[in-house]
Chain A
Amino acid sequence: MSAASVPTSEREPAPATIPAGAARDSVIEIDASLRWPVLALSLGSALWLFVGLVFAIIGSIKLHAPGFFADSVMLTAGRIRPAAMNALVYGFASQSALAVLLWILSRLGGNRFAYALPVVIATKLWNIGVLVGVWAILAGASTGFELLEMPRYASPLLFIAFVVIALCAVASFWARRVRELYPSQWFLLGSLFWFPWLYSAANLLLVVNPVRGTMQAVVNAWYVNGLLGLWLGSVALAVIFYFLPKLSGRPLFSASAVALGFWSWVVLTGFSGLTSLIGGPVPRWLPALSTAATLASLAPLATFAFVWYRTLAGGDAAARGDTVLRFMLGAAVCFLIAGAVKIALAFPQVAAVTNLTLMGAGLKFFVVLGFVGMALLGGIYYILPRVLGADWPNAQLVRGHFLCTIIGVALIFGPLALGGILQGIKINNPGVEYASLARSLTPWIGLSSLGFLWLLAGQVLMFLNFVKLLRGWCAVQCSGCATWFEEARPVKVGGRP
Chain B
Amino acid sequence: MNNGPLLFFGILAAMVSSFWGLILLPQIQIGRQQAVVLEDTGAYYPAVRAGQASQGAEVYRSLGCAECHSQQVRGLGGDLARSWGRRISVAQDYLHDQPVQLGLMRIGPDLTNVGVRRPDTDNLYAHLWNPRLVMAGSIMPRYPFLFEQRRLANGELRAAEAVKFMGLPEDLEIIPKPEARQLVAYLLSLRADNELFEAPLPAAPKTASVGTNAVATNASVVAPAPTNSIAPAK
Chain A residues within 8 Å of B, Cβ to Cβ = 62-64, 66-67, 70-73, 76-79, 81-82, 140-146, 179-181, 186, 189-190, 193-194, 197-198, 201, 205-206, 210-219, 222, 226, 230, 255, 259, 263, 266-267, 270-271, 273-274, 277-283, 286, 289-290, 348, 351-353, 355-358, 360-361, 423-424, 427-431, 433-436, 438-439, 441-442
Q: B11 → chain A, closest Cβ, in Å?
A: 4
Q: A176 → chain B, closest Cβ, in Å?
A: 10
Given A77-B67, A79-B63, A81-B64; A424-B91 close (CB under 8 Å): no
Looking at B36-44, B118-126, B157-165, B218-226, the stretch in contact with chain A turns out to be B218-226
**Distance in angstroms between the alpha carbons of A348 and B224 in the assembled complex:** 23
Which residues from A are CB-within-8-Å of B140?
66, 438
Sample (24) of A-B pairs whose CB atoms are under 8 Å apart: A63-B68, A77-B68, A186-B1, A189-B8, A189-B11, A193-B8, A193-B12, A212-B32, A213-B94, A213-B95, A213-B97, A215-B31, A267-B18, A271-B18, A280-B102, A289-B21, A352-B74, A353-B77, A428-B77, A430-B81, A430-B82, A430-B224, A434-B108, A438-B139
B contacts with A, residue count (CB < 8 A): 78
Q: Are B102 and A214 in contact (CB under 8 A)?
A: yes
Q: Are A435 and B135 in contact (CB under 8 A)?
A: yes
Q: Sorted from nearest, which 9 A-B pairs have the closest CB atoms? A: A78-B64, A270-B18, A279-B74, A140-B62, A144-B99, A279-B76, A352-B76, A428-B78, A144-B61
**Distance in angstroms between the alpha carbons of A219 and B24 in the assembled complex:** 10
Q: Are A427 and B72 in contact (CB under 8 A)?
A: no
B104 at the interface (CB under 8 A from A): yes
**Distance in angstroms between the alpha carbons of A66 and B215 in the assembled complex:** 22
Q: B19 → chain A, closest Cβ, in Å?
A: 7
**Distance in angstroms between the alpha carbons of A218 and B100 in the assembled complex:** 10
Q: Are A66 and B102 in contact (CB under 8 A)?
A: no
Given A271-B21, A441-B107; A431-B11 close (CB under 8 Å): no
Given A226-B18, A259-B1, A283-B26; A78-B76 close (CB under 8 Å): no
Given A70-B142, A78-B64, A144-B66; A286-B102 close (CB under 8 Å): no
Our pick among B23, B30, B61 for the contact of A213 (Cβ within 8 Å) is B30
Given A280-B72, A430-B78; A62-B141 close (CB under 8 Å): yes
- Give 1 or 0 for each of B15-57: 1 = CB within 8 Å of chain A CB: 1011101110011011111000000000000000000000000
Q: B209 → chain A, closest Cβ, in Å?
A: 16
Q: A365 → chain B, closest Cβ, in Å?
A: 13
Q: Are A213 and B91 in contact (CB under 8 A)?
A: yes
Q: Are B15 and A193 in contact (CB under 8 A)?
A: yes
Which residues from A are CB-within-8-Å of B68?
63, 77-78
Q: Are B77 and A78 in contact (CB under 8 A)?
A: no
Q: Are B94 and A214 in contact (CB under 8 A)?
A: yes
| A contact face: mostly helix, strand, loop, or mixed | helix
**Distance in angstroms between the alpha carbons of A218 and B30 in the assembled complex:** 11
Which residues from A are CB-within-8-Å of B178?
none
Q: B30 → chain A, closest Cβ, in Å?
A: 6
Interface centre among A198, A270, A283 (most CB of B within 10 A): A270
Given contacts A81-B64, A435-B138, 12 further A-B contacts (CB under 8 A): A66-B138, A76-B64, A82-B67, A212-B33, A213-B33, A216-B94, A219-B23, A267-B17, A271-B22, A434-B82, A436-B137, A439-B139
**Distance in angstroms between the alpha carbons of A279 and B106 in the assembled complex:** 15
Given A82-B67, A193-B15; A218-B22 close (CB under 8 Å): yes
Q: Are A181 and B1 in contact (CB under 8 A)?
A: yes
Q: Are B138 and A438 in contact (CB under 8 A)?
A: yes
B204 at the interface (CB under 8 A from A): no
Q: Which residue of B lies closest to A68 (CB)?
A: B141
**Distance in angstroms between the alpha carbons of A76 and B1 in the assembled complex:** 51
Which residues from A are CB-within-8-Å of B27?
211, 215
Q: B42 → chain A, closest Cβ, in Å?
A: 22
Q: Are A430 and B139 in contact (CB under 8 A)?
A: no
Our pick among A201, A358, A441 for the contact of B139 (Cβ within 8 Å) is A441
Which residues from A are CB-within-8-Å of B113?
none
Q: A15 → chain B, closest Cβ, in Å?
A: 14
Which residues from B are CB-within-8-Å of A351?
76
Q: A16 → chain B, closest Cβ, in Å?
A: 15
Q: Which residue of A lies closest to B31 (CB)?
A: A215
Our pick among B23, B89, B106 for the contact of A356 (Cβ within 8 Å) is B106
Which residues from B are CB-within-8-Å of A352?
74, 76-77
Given A77-B68, A78-B67, A283-B30; A70-B141 close (CB under 8 Å): yes
**Distance in angstroms between the alpha carbons of A194 and B221 in the assembled complex:** 47
Which residues from B are CB-within-8-Å of A211?
27, 31
Interface centre among A206, A210, A213, A423 (most CB of B within 10 A): A213
**Distance in angstroms between the alpha carbons of A213 and B74 in the assembled complex:** 16
Q: Which residue of A lies closest to B225 (CB)?
A: A430
Q: B144 → chain A, closest Cβ, in Å?
A: 6
Q: A490 → chain B, closest Cβ, in Å?
A: 54
Q: Are A193 and B11 in contact (CB under 8 A)?
A: yes
**Distance in angstroms between the alpha carbons of A141 and B76 in the assembled complex:** 33
**Distance in angstroms between the alpha carbons of A226 and B68 in the assembled complex:** 23
B98 at the interface (CB under 8 A from A): yes
Which residues from B are CB-within-8-Å of A197?
15, 19
Q: Are A361 and B105 in contact (CB under 8 A)?
A: yes
Q: Which residue of B lies closest to A265 (CB)?
A: B14
B115 at the interface (CB under 8 A from A): no
Q: Are A71 and B89 in contact (CB under 8 A)?
A: no
Which residues from A are CB-within-8-Å of B1?
181, 186, 255, 259
Which residues from B are CB-within-8-Å of A78?
63-68
Q: Are A274 and B145 in contact (CB under 8 A)?
A: no
Q: Which residue of A lies closest to B11 (CB)?
A: A190
Q: Are B22 and A76 in contact (CB under 8 A)?
A: no
**Distance in angstroms between the alpha carbons of A338 and B32 in the assembled complex:** 36
B131 at the interface (CB under 8 A from A): yes
Q: Are B106 and A427 in contact (CB under 8 A)?
A: yes
Interface centre among A280, A428, A439, A442 (most CB of B within 10 A): A280
Our pick among B61, B70, B141 for the contact of A76 (Cβ within 8 Å) is B141
**Distance in angstroms between the alpha carbons of A76 and B100 in the assembled complex:** 21
Which residues from B are CB-within-8-Å of A289?
21-22
